[in-house]
């Protein structure tokens, strides 16, 4: 069963931690960081599987915190807004992002040339890179593809 709160967010009876992060327009890493800081309430856990989830009332609390910018304790919290231009990341030669990715992959033990990197990106993301500030998932997929 799904209950509407507003036209943008639908609150389900339960949702996963990943789904909660998506509803809040946060990466999972940032969401977990804010959980540790006490900004958002911790999830409930299934007794049998020990899997975390957010029931309806906790989803409401999280969305209210995001909307108001105040934690449950009344302390202010600031969230960065997503980029307004919906464009994909440009992979022109003058863009430094491919060098950042290559350096990160090197630190992960994968030696890659710029050409191999560009070919891998085109193979994994034929429509272009997702518009995201969190490069973790991109690096993860590149690492798996190249090793």
Complete DSSP assignment for 60-93: HHHHHHHHHTB-TTS-B---PPPPS--PPPP--T
Query: Of 1.10.1660, 1.10.600, 2.40.160, 3.40.50, which CATH number belongs to 2-68?
Result: 1.10.1660
0.85 surpassed by pTM = no
pLDDT of res. 93: 40
* Domain spans, the chain: 2-68, 97-146
Cα end-to-end span (Å), the chain: 43
Strands 44-45 and 52-55, sheet pairing: antiparallel
pLDDT of res. 3: 47
**Cα gap 84→106, rounded to integer Å:** 31
| 7-65 residue pLDDT tens | 345 789 999 999 999 999 898 999 999 999 999 999 999 999 999 999 999 999 999 99
């Amino acid at each position: 069963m799904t209950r509407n709160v507003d036209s943008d967010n639908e609150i389900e009876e339960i949702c996963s931690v990943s789904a909660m992060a998506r509803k809040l327009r946060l990466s999972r890493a940032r969401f977990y960081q804010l959980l540790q800081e006490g900004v958002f309430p911790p999830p409930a856990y299934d007794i049998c599987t020990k899997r975390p989830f957010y029931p309806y009332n906790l989803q409401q609390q999280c969305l209210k915190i995001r909307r108001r910018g105040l934690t449950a304790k009344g302390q202010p919290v600031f969230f960065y807004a997503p980029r307004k231009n919906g464009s994909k990341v440009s992979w022109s030669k003058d863009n430094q992002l491919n060098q950042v990715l290559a350096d990160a992959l090197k630190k992960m033990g994968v030696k890659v040339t710029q050409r191999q990197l560009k070919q891998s990106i085109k193979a994994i993301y034929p429509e272009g890179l997702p518009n995201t500030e969190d490069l973790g998932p991109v690096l993860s997929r590149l690492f798996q593809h190249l090793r």
